[in-house]
A and B are shown apart, each in its own frame.
Chain A
Amino acid sequence: MAAQRQPQGRIRINQETVVIAISVVLFLVFSIFLNKFLSQGNIIALLKNVAILGTLAVGMGFVVVGRGIDLTMVAVMVVGVAFSIWLSTQGVSFTFAIVVGGLLVALLGLFTGILVAIAEIPPIFATLAIASAVYGAGRILFSSDVLYAPSNIQWLTFIGSGTIFGIPMSVMVFAAVAFVMSLFLKKTRFGRLVYASGDNPAAARNSGLPTRPVIITQYVVSALIAFIAGIIMTGLVTGINTRLYNSTLIYDVLLVVVLGGIGLSGGQGGVRNVIVGTILVGILINGMTILNFSYTSQNLIKSVILLGALAIDAVINPRDEQTSQSGDI
Chain B
Amino acid sequence: MKTMKKLLLAAIAAVSLVQAPHMAQAADVEQIGRSAYLEAMTGKKVIFVPLSQGMDLNQAWVTVWQRHAARYGFTLEVRDPNMNTDAGIRALQGAIEEKPDLLIVQNPDVQTYARMLKQAQSAGIKVLQVNMQSATQTDSYVGNDWIEMGRLEAGELARTCMAPGAPSKKIVWLAGVQTGAANIFMRTGIDQIIAENPGLELVSDQPADYDSEKARQITETVLQQHPDLCGIMGIWDNAEVGAGAAVLAAGKQDQVTIVTNGAGADTGCESIKKGLLDVIYNFNAPIQGEIAAQQISELLQHPEREAGAEKTMFFGPITRVDKDNATGRNCWKIDDFK
A contacts, CB < 8 Å to B = 35-36, 39, 41-42, 45-46, 48-49, 52, 139, 143-146, 148, 151, 160-161, 168, 233, 236-239, 241-244, 246-247, 285-286, 289-290, 292, 294-296
Distance A161 CA – B216 CA, assembled complex (angstroms):
12
**B206, CB-defined interface residue at 8 Å:** yes
Tell whether, in the assembled complex, residue A292 and residue B204 are in contact, meaning their CB atoms are under 8 Å apart: yes
Residues of B within 8 A of A146 (CB): 54, 212, 238, 267
State the majority secondary structure of interface residues on B. Answer: helix
Residues of A within 8 A of B213 (CB): 52, 233, 236-237, 241, 244
Chain B contact residues (Cβ within 8 angstroms of A): what range? Answer: 35 or more
Tell whether, in the assembled complex, residue A243 and residue B225 are in contact, meaning their CB atoms are under 8 Å apart: no
Tell whether, in the assembled complex, residue A289 and residue B206 are in contact, meaning their CB atoms are under 8 Å apart: yes
Residues of B within 8 A of A35 (CB): 225
Tell whether, in the assembled complex, residue B212 and residue A145 are in contact, meaning their CB atoms are under 8 Å apart: no
**Nearest-Cβ distance from residue B119 to partner chain A, whole angstroms:** 27
Tell whether, in the assembled complex, residue A289 and residue B211 are in contact, meaning their CB atoms are under 8 Å apart: no
* Stretch from B186-194, B240-248, B315-323 that touches the partner: B240-248
Residues of B within 8 A of A239 (CB): 212, 238, 241
- B 266-277 to A, binary, CB cutoff 8 A, 1 in contact else 0: 010011001010
Residues of A within 8 A of B82 (CB): 139, 246
Distance A156 CA – B248 CA, assembled complex (angstroms):
15
**Known contacts A237-B245, A238-B241, A241-B212; is-contact A246 B83 (Cβ 8 Å):** yes
Residues of B within 8 A of A168 (CB): 249
A49-B220, A246-B82, A289-B206 given; name 9 further pairs at CB < 8 Å.
Answer: A143-B59, A144-B54, A144-B56, A161-B245, A237-B212, A239-B241, A246-B84, A286-B221, A295-B178
Jot down 18 A-B pairs with beta carbons below 8 A, ordered by A.
Answer: A36-B224, A39-B224, A139-B82, A143-B54, A145-B55, A148-B267, A148-B270, A161-B245, A236-B216, A237-B213, A238-B241, A239-B238, A241-B238, A243-B83, A243-B211, A286-B221, A292-B204, A292-B206
**Which interface residue of A238, A247, A286 has the most chain B CB atoms within 10 A?**
A238
**B209, CB-defined interface residue at 8 Å:** yes
Tell whether, in the assembled complex, residue A145 and residue B59 are in contact, meaning their CB atoms are under 8 Å apart: no
Residues of A within 8 A of B215 (CB): 237
Residues of B within 8 A of A160 (CB): 245, 249
A-B contacts at CB below 8 angstroms, number? 105
**Nearest-Cβ distance from residue A160 to partner chain B, whole angstroms:** 7
Q: Which 5 A-B pairs have the closest CB atoms?
A: A145-B54, A237-B212, A42-B224, A49-B217, A237-B242
Distance A292 CA – B270 CA, assembled complex (angstroms):
31
**B131, CB-defined interface residue at 8 Å:** no
**Nearest-Cβ distance from residue A176 to partner chain B, whole angstroms:** 20
**Nearest-Cβ distance from residue A278 to partner chain B, whole angstroms:** 14
Among residues of B, the one whose C-beta sits closest to the C-beta of A43 is B224
Tell whether, in the assembled complex, residue A289 and residue B241 are in contact, meaning their CB atoms are under 8 Å apart: no
**B114, CB-defined interface residue at 8 Å:** no
**Known contacts A39-B224, A45-B221; is-contact A295 B206 (Cβ 8 Å):** yes
Tell whether, in the assembled complex, residue A161 and residue B249 are in contact, meaning their CB atoms are under 8 Å apart: yes
Tell whether, in the assembled complex, residue A151 and residue B270 are in contact, meaning their CB atoms are under 8 Å apart: yes
Distance A48 CA – B213 CA, assembled complex (angstroms):
11
Task: Kindly identify, within residues 35 to 61 of chain B, every residue whose CB is under 8 Å from any CB belonging to chain A.
Answer: 52-56, 59
**Known contacts A151-B270, A292-B204; is-contact A247 B211 (Cβ 8 Å):** yes
